[in-house]
């Protein structure tokens, strides 16, 4: 990597709050191997991968999708119509890990409720657009079936975050445990299907997508990134809130099949891991640029009360001008000034630090709330979006 490239990556890392200004960002590196020497980049999800490969190769996935429609809440019984092997697997994994702390999970749920405005914006505009400059993720998404219909895929992706943030996410009446396990099935299907695409093979630098390492990168673009931005924005959080928010994500990525030995134990460990495995790899790709254009174009379907220039500048604000330039987002300097002065004032008023609502408060408030609902089942469902297992890749791929 050239000195100029290193400076660009470092400045981007600082802008995203993922590394310190005095830190040194290394070239692409694995997470530190676990005690037994295991490498997350060479760890997948063997049991469910074998099951889904068999179901896909024998044409059973449409019947499985039909059966899974009625399986929504965490306490729902497993539906009939599943193969004995798949039913046995789901029976085994459809539960919280033994180390899950119900007190921390309840506190995380309350934290999500109290900070939902910031979380929706950061997950939607921050993490959502950041995913398009994570090369492996962008290429996997683009060449998979979901990449051909980004509104539907965004709705399904948002369901994951929506269910995770729900007050009852991990309780019997919640939905996140089931949502995570359905997502785990989707990941297994994609791992079997994408290597069959010559287009993906030509673009990818891996033989099998969605390793434990890839899921950890996605976690850092979500949980670690959001935590750092909340700190940067001076959003009040107690130590217990921060610990609970991390614990929620630890349980979530466990449910997605990440081995416990790879899961960061503290935010300091998460920040250090993120600086190794996320910041250095961020880069534009042809696939990512098209996905970003699709995602940002979806907002044109709904009046969010703002201009496209405002939206572009908000992306630059939460991700950096470097990412905005990579994605070719036109500048709107008037909107940039409004965002950079109005958003801190908006937070201050919401947190009780300003006695009077600042100019533009209503616009910011409506923008965030509309954005939060935008992708929920193509803006028709207030509760959930069905997650279905794909049976092929992007048409023509």
Residue 123: C-alpha distances to residues 164, 178, 185, 301, 374 (Å): 12, 21, 23, 20, 13
Q: Give the pLDDT mean for 184-210.
A: 97
Could you count the other beta carbons within 10 Å of the beta carbon of residue 190?
A: 24
Which has more pLDDT, 352 or 386? 352
Cβ-proximal residues to 156 (8 Å cutoff; 6+ apart), any chain:
146, 385, 386, 387
Higher pLDDT, 30 or 256: 256
Residues 273-283: tens digit of each pLDDT: 999 999 999 99
Average pLDDT over residues 296-309: 72
CA distances in angstroms from 168 to 34, 176, 180, listed in the order given: 33, 9, 14
Listed range (162-166, 235-239, 393-397) with the worst mean pLDDT: 162-166
Per-residue pLDDT at 368: 79
Q: Is it the case that residue 34 has pLDDT exceeding 60?
A: no
What is the biggest distance separating any 2 CA atoms in the chain, rounded to whole angstroms? 64
Q: Are 206 and 136 in contact (CB under 8 A)?
A: yes
Predicted confidence at residue 91, as pLDDT, reads: 95
pLDDT band at 27 (very low <50, low <70, confident <90, very high): very low
Q: What tens digit of pLDDT does each residue of 72-115 get?
A: 999 999 999 899 999 999 999 999 999 999 999 999 999 999 99
Mean pLDDT of 293-309: 75
Nearest in space to 40 (alpha carbons), one of 234, 277, 238, 230:
277
Residue range 391-397: average pLDDT?
Answer: 90
Task: Tell me the two tokens of residue 202.
Answer: 């030509």
For the cut 50, the answer to whether the pLDDT of residue 346 exceeds it is yes
Q: What is the mean pLDDT of the chain?
A: 86
The helix (run of H) or strand (run of E) holding residue 339 is helix 333-350
What is residue 148's predicted lDDT score, i.e. its pLDDT? 85
Q: Is residue 229 predicted with pLDDT exceeding 60?
A: yes
Distance CA 296, CA 132 (A): 11
Find out whether 170 and 367 touch, Cβ atoms under 8 Å.
no
pLDDT above 90 coverage of the chain, percent? 68
Query: Using one digit for the tens of pLDDT, what is the confidence trace for 360-388?
Result: 888 888 887 777 666 544 444 545 567 89
With a cut of 50, say whether residue 12 has pLDDT above it: no
234 pLDDT higher than 80: yes
Give me the pLDDT at residue 18, please.
42
Name which of 140-149, 289-298, 375-384 the model is least confident about: 375-384
Q: Which residues pair with 393 in a beta bridge?
A: 144
- pLDDT at position 188 over 80: yes
Task: Give pLDDT, residue 372.
Answer: 66
Distance of alpha carbon 113 from alpha carbon 248, whole angstroms: 13
- What pLDDT is recorded for position 299? 67
The answer to which of 31-40, 292-301, 324-333, 388-397 has the lowest mean pLDDT is: 31-40
Average pLDDT over residues 133-150: 92
More confident residue, 370 or 214: 214
Q: Which residue has the higher pLDDT, 122 or 29?
A: 122
């Amino acid at each position: 990597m050239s000195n100029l490239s290193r400076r660009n990556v470092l400045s981007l890392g600082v802008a995203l709050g993922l590394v310190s200004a005095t830190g040194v960002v290394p070239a692409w590196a694995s997470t530190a191997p676990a005690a037994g020497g295991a490498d997350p980049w060479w760890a997948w999800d063997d049991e469910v991968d074998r099951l889904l490969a068999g179901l896909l190769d024998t044409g059973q996935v449409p019947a499985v999708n039909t059966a899974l429609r009625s399986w929504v809440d965490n306490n729902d019984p497993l539906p009939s119509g599943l193969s004995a092997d798949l039913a046995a697997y789901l029976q085994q994994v459809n539960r919280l890990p033994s180390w899950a702390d119900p007190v921390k999970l309840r506190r995380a749920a309350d934290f999500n409720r109290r900070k939902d405005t910031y979380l929706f914006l950061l997950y939607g505009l921050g993490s959502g657009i950041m995913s398009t400059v994570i090369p492996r993720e962008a290429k996997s998404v683009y060449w998979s079936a979901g990449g051909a219909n980004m509104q539907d895929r965004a709705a399904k992706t948002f369901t994951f975050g929506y269910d995770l943030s729900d007050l009852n996410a991990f309780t019997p009446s919640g939905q996140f445990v089931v949502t995570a396990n359905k997502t785990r099935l989707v990941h297994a299907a994609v791992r079997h299907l994408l290597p069959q695409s010559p287009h993906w093979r030509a673009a990818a630098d891996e033989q099998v997508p969605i390793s434990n390492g890839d899921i950890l990168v996605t976690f850092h673009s979500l949980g670690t990134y959001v935590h750092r931005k909340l700190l940067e924005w001076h959003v009040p959080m107690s130590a217990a809130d921060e610990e609970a928010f991390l614990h929620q994500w630890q349980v979530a990525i466990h449910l997605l099949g990440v081995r416990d030995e790879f899961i960061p134990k503290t935010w300091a460990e998460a920040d250090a891991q993120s600086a190794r495995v996320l910041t250095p790899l961020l880069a534009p790709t042809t696939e990512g640029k098209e996905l970003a254009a699709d995602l940002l174009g979806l907002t044109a379907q709904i009046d969010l009360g703002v201009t496209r220039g405002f939206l572009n500048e908000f992306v630059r604000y939460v991700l950096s001008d470097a990412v905005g330039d990579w994605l070719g987002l036109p500048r709107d300097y008037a909107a940039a000034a409004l965002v950079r002065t109005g958003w801190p004032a908006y937070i201050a008023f919401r947190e009780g630090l300003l006695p009077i609502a600042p100019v533009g408060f209503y616009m910011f408030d409506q923008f965030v709330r509309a954005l939060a609902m935008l992708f929920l089942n193509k803006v028709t469902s207030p509760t959930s979006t069905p997650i279905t297992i794909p049976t092929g890749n992007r048409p023509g791929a």
